[in-house]
Amino acid sequence: MQNLSAKACFDTWKIATGMVSLTDFAKIYGLMECRRDLSDNDCYSCLQMGISDIPLCCNQRIGGRVYSECCYLRFESEPFFPATAPLPSWSGDQSDHSDATGNKSTMRMLQIICILMAITLVLTSTIRTFLLRRKKASNKDGGRVGGDNDATESLIFDLETLQAATDNFVDINKLGEGGFGTVYKGKLLNGQEIAVKRLLRRYRQGMDELRNEVALVAKLQHKNLVRLLGCCLQGQEELLVYEYMPNKSLDTFLFDPIRCLLLDWKSRYKIIEGIARGLLYLHEDSRLKIIHRDLKTSNILLDGDMNPKIADFGLARLFGGDQTHASTSRIAGTFGYMAPEYAVYGKFSTQSDVFSFGVLVLEIVTGRKNAGFHESDGAIDLLTYAWQHWTEGIAHKLIDRNLNEQCIRQEVLRCVLMGLLCVQGDAAERPTMSTVVLMLNSFSSTLPIPSPPAFFIEGSQMESDVLRNNSVVNGMESSDHFNSKFKPYSLNEASITELDPR
């Protein structure tokens, strides 16, 4: 059936038939058909969804049929089609070569009957699909987004197809590596370029991350979120298939001494604004409230026009109803981008993503990484460095030297202030993403004065303990005992009153 679906989508009439011998005495006959007005991709996708429904409708049966609004497939153990492929029933423009009035009337009657049958089958299929989804939704887990098998099964890719597209995952097609796997460039038979994320087998949470990401991203539609095309769960392989982003990730430009010259201020401002709009969609505008939990430069992909798209939803969490925050003893993310309340106490909310966004903004403006930051004037991380320059009235010295005089200084300084507002230690004082988008689009409003950012003291006992007990870097899971062992302290050695619940 997989072979026939590929043949049908490229056929002029959008139809394909075939036969395969199982034994000397047993054969299987198959037929695939799409509406002629469908594109090759839409036809292939429809047939793939039909194939994924076969185990649900026709398991252990000798033959079966799957109908949808746009395509139809059937398989039997006996021939059911003529030696030559029949004319498509959905062509809509079949010519009547008979000159007899009676024949024309008969043809019209047959067409009417076929249309009525098709409508009946579509309604039946729609009702059946709705009932199945409703049943699965009632059993859905309310924590992680994973477990939505219906969404996952409708996006299944064949392993052989992805192996052929990537030349069997050859190193020359490697685009990059992350905490959970390697990404390869591929090209499908229809010429479409794709990016295939191959999860590493040594991580036990790999299957959960994959199912979580497929079920989640399949529901999201926004120009600043990377588009998921499908997945593959075959044999030992766990693969995610995305739209191909020719300019890779933001960090490959921002922190490269040569490629960073291609990022003028206009491009950087567009990237900041795009990330903000993508986060606003996740937090407020989509029908689901999503907390990303791993926002960083390597998870911001750039298309051919340098438009940003948020990627990697393997650690994302879904909030339901009026939920505003949650807690976990299994902290995951990337050190340096995590909000203090999440890194220390495991508490996360939309404001945790706002903190990560603030770090991103400061990195984009300065061209420097927050992780591993070193300066000779006493600053131990980028947030401290930016705060010192702001309070001393020399924030203009933060601007990346590669921007020279091409940037609008007031616009850049406004972004610095906005970044400092986002990384404030108290989550309640940070702006929401809707306020951030307003800051980026309205220059008439006056921004509030930020309080000091959260400090992580590099080289201190706290950080060494964090890194030893919290194997969080780049997606690793943390110790369950992390929450109870560490207390935050400020750079100026002043004490902090801790408020514990009764």
CB-count exposure of residue 183 (10 Å: 0-12, 13-18, 19+): buried
Taking a C-beta distance cutoff of 8 angstroms, is the pair 474, 327 a contact? Answer: no
Structure tokens at 126: 């729609």
Query: Is residue 482 pLDDT above 60, yes or no?
Result: no
Query: 68 or 122, which is more confident?
Result: 68
- Taking all residues of the chain, what is their mean pLDDT, rounded to a whole number? 78
CA distance 497 to 7: 69
Per-residue pLDDT at 97: 38
Per-residue pLDDT at 27: 87
Angle at which helices 265-280 and 409-422 cross, to 10°:
30
Q: Kindly state the average pLDDT of the residues 431-456.
A: 86
Least confident of 45-59, 79-93, 140-154, 475-489: 475-489
Would you give the distance in Å from CA 67 to the centre of its chain?
30
Measured CA angle at 153 (ends 148, 158), to 5 deg:
145
Closest CA to 286 of 354, 218, 210: 218
pLDDT tens by residue, 79-113? 888 765 444 444 334 333 334 445 555 666 666 77
SS (H, E, C) 181-204: EEEEEEECCCCCEEEEEEECCCCC
Name, of 48-57, 149-158, 199-208, 289-298, the range with top average pLDDT. Answer: 289-298
CA distance 244 to 227: 9
Query: Is residue 304 pLDDT above 80, yes or no?
Result: yes
Query: 234 or 307, which is more confident?
Result: 307
**Helix residue ranges, H only, 337-451:** 340-345, 350-366, 382-391, 409-422, 433-441
CA distance 241 to 324: 31
Compute how many other C-beta atoms are within 10 angstroms of the C-beta atom of residue 423. 26
Would you give the distance in Å from CA 150 to the centre of its chain?
17
Compute how many other C-beta atoms are within 10 angstroms of the C-beta atom of residue 280. 20
Per-residue pLDDT at 251: 93
Query: 373 or 302, which is more confident?
Result: 302
Query: Is residue 257 pLDDT above 80, yes or no?
Result: yes
Structure tokens at 235: 């044999």
Compute how many other C-beta atoms are within 10 angstroms of the C-beta atom of residue 296. 23
Q: Kindly state the average pLDDT of the residues 316-333.
A: 78
Please report the domains of the chain, with CATH numbers, ordered by start residue: 2-88 (3.30.430.20), 149-243 (3.30.200.20), 251-484 (1.10.510.10)
Q: Which residues are registered as beta bridge partners of 444? A: none
CA distance 33 to 175: 36
Q: What percentage of the chain carries pLDDT values higher than 90?
A: 31
Query: Is residue 491 pLDDT above 50, yes or no?
Result: no
Number of H helices, E strands in the chain: 14, 15
Query: Is residue 473 pLDDT above 50, yes or no?
Result: no
CA distance 324 to 336: 23
Q: Kindly state the average pLDDT of the residues 26-50.
A: 88
Taking a C-beta distance cutoff of 8 angstroms, is the pair 66, 73 a contact? Answer: yes
How is the chain split among helix, strand and coil, in percent rounded to 5?
40, 15, 45
Name, of 108-117, 278-287, 327-336, the range with top average pLDDT. Answer: 278-287
CA distance 361 to 400: 12
Phi, psi dihedral angles at 225 (to 5 degrees) = -120, 135
Output the DSSP codes for 472-492: -GGGPPPPTTGGGT-----TT
**Hey, is 180 helix, strand or coil?**
coil
**Helix residue ranges, H only, 22-100:** 40-57
pLDDT tens by residue, 147-167? 445 544 557 888 999 999 999
Taking a C-beta distance cutoff of 8 angstroms, is the pair 381, 456 a contact? Answer: yes
Residue reference for tokens 């850049």: 412
Taking a C-beta distance cutoff of 8 angstroms, is the pair 75, 33 a contact? Answer: no
Per-residue pLDDT at 456: 44
Least confident of 258-262, 309-313, 495-499: 495-499
Q: What percentage of the chain carries pLDDT values higher than 70?
A: 75
Say what the pTM is.
0.61
CA distance 13 to 217: 33
Closest CA to 399 of 365, 440, 358: 365
The catalytic residue among 40, 294, 353, 381 is: 294
* pLDDT tier for residue 500 given thresholds of 50, 70 and 90: low
Output the DSSP codes for 108-124: HHHHHHHHHHHHHHHHH
Q: Kindly state the average pLDDT of the residues 49-60.
A: 83
Phi, psi dihedral angles at 120 (to 5 degrees) = -60, -45
* pLDDT tier for residue 142 given thresholds of 50, 70 and 90: very low
Instruction: Identify whether 377 is a catalytic site residue.
Output: no
Structure tokens at 59: 């398991």
Output the DSSP codes for 269-328: HHHHHHHHHHHHIIIIISSSEEE-S---GGGEEE-TT--EEE---TT-EEE-TT--EEE-
pLDDT tens by residue, 354-413? 999 999 999 999 999 987 666 645 567 899 899 999 999 999 889 998 887 778 888 899
pLDDT tens by residue, 449-459? 999 887 644 43
* pLDDT tier for residue 470 given thresholds of 50, 70 and 90: very low
Structure tokens at 136: 């699965």
* pLDDT tier for residue 54 given thresholds of 50, 70 and 90: confident
